[in-house]
Every structure is written in structure tokens, then in C-alpha cells.
Amino acid sequence: MRGIGAGKEIVRQLVRIFFALFFRVTVTGLENVPENGPVLLCANHIGALDMFFIGYRLKRLVHYMAKEELFKNPILALLIRWLGAFPVKRGTGDVGAIKTAYRFLDEGKIVGILPQGTRTRGKDLSKIKVNPGVALIALNKGAPILPVGLKGSYKPFTKVKVAFGEPFRPDYQARSGEKVPREVLNSITGEIMKRIYALVEE
């Protein structure tokens, strides 16, 4: 077990070195990341490297929901699992992935979700449907939501911005066993994305 733990730390350090050498990354708001306890991290989705840019400067490990296709390559699967990712079947309401997210939150960890579900670079944002499942997780677990805004082309030696906003909780209080109305979930999800894009434009 010690060997596996050491391997994970080596991978994380290599990722930090790689991004420090090949990108001009500006990270702001790290003080907004809670030092402990459950956190639901939500960010915009601009490219395949989002999870790496978000996590490489954090002291805490982020457990990301990542599309299951990424886990078909055994080497890539091992790498991203070591970096905290777990698979989700997109567009199916993957109960197993949601239970995994709940478990991590119950254990006081950070769960990372990209609510847009698809890369948005070059696309009309108004036509991208944002998954309201993230709002349901937030209400069911009561974990603070940490918005993160990403900006950049992700081309080597270009500028990349990563901005961590202030954690917040939805105003809506769900009662035990209550089925939360769809419009409430959509409203909360809209608030999450509003805060994310405010960080992008700062």
C-alpha cells in the first residue's frame, strides 16, 4: 500500500512540474478552498485538461466525475484514478456514480463535477444543456458548492486562468424524502453557472 501511495504522490508532483514548465498559469482564490470537510466543486468545461489545471495547485485531492470513455485506456485510467477521478456514464442518470459522489462527500472529501458535461470551447453556450444533477447532490448532501472558473486555450506556453470563488449553499432547503421540483434544480444550477462565469470574466 505504501508503494501505491508513493506512486500517486509522484504522479501528482510530475503533473505540477509539467504545468509549471509548459503553461503560464494564474491561480486565484485558493484561500476560498475549505481546508477540510465535504465540498462540491463545480467548474466550466473548456477542454480535456480541466481537472489537471484545477487540481495541480490544491493541497486536497479532488475526486472528479469523468466520462467513462476515458477509463477504456488502462494506462490513462490508472493515471486519472490516481488523480482522483471516477467514471460516470453520461446522459443516463448513472446511479452508481452518484452513490460514489455521495460516499466521497460523506467521507469529507472534495467531489468535482463539470455540470456542462461537454467541452464548450467554440460552441454556443446558450445551446448547451447544463445537467441539474449537481444541484440535487448539493441539496441532498448539504455540502458547500465551490465555483471554479477556467479560461485559456490550453495550448503550450499560453496563459491559463483558474479562479476559485467563494463557497456557497443554495437558499432552498429540501425536506427529508421530498422530491425537489425540476424548476428548483434548474434555478440552483443556473446560479452555479452564473457564479462560475463571473469568475471567468473577472
Cα(177)–Cα(167) distance, rounded to whole angstroms?
A: 26
Q: Which grid cell sits at 143?
A: 455540502
Which residues is 173 bridged to in the sheet?
none
- Cβ neighbours of residue 45 under 8 Å, at least 6 residues apart? 114, 116, 117, 118, 119, 120
Taking only the tens place, the pLDDT of each residue in 26-80 is: 999 999 999 999 999 999 988 888 988 998 889 899 999 888 888 888 888 888 8
Q: Which residue has the cell 469523468?
A: 66
pLDDT at 173: 74
Name the residue with higher pLDDT: 60 or 2: 60
Cα(123)–Cα(110) distance, rounded to whole angstroms?
A: 29
pLDDT at 54: 92
Question: Do 130 and 115 touch, CB atoms closer than 8 A?
Answer: yes
Q: Are strands 159-164 and 145-152 parallel, antiparallel or unpaired?
A: antiparallel
Query: Model-level pTM?
Result: 0.87
Backbone phi and psi for residue 201, each to the nearest 5 degrees, phi listed first: -90, -5
Q: Which residue has the cell 482522483?
A: 84
Whether 168 shows a pLDDT value over 90: the answer reads yes
Mean pLDDT of 159-171: 94
Taking only the tens place, the pLDDT of each residue in 77-118 is: 888 887 788 988 866 667 888 899 999 999 999 999 998 866
Q: Where are the domains of the chain?
A: 2-201
Q: Are strands 159-164 and 24-28 parallel, antiparallel or unpaired?
A: parallel
Q: Which residue has the cell 440552483?
A: 188
CATH 3.40.1130.10 for domain 2-201, yes or no, is yes
With cut-offs at 50, 70 and 90, classify the pLDDT of residue 161: very high
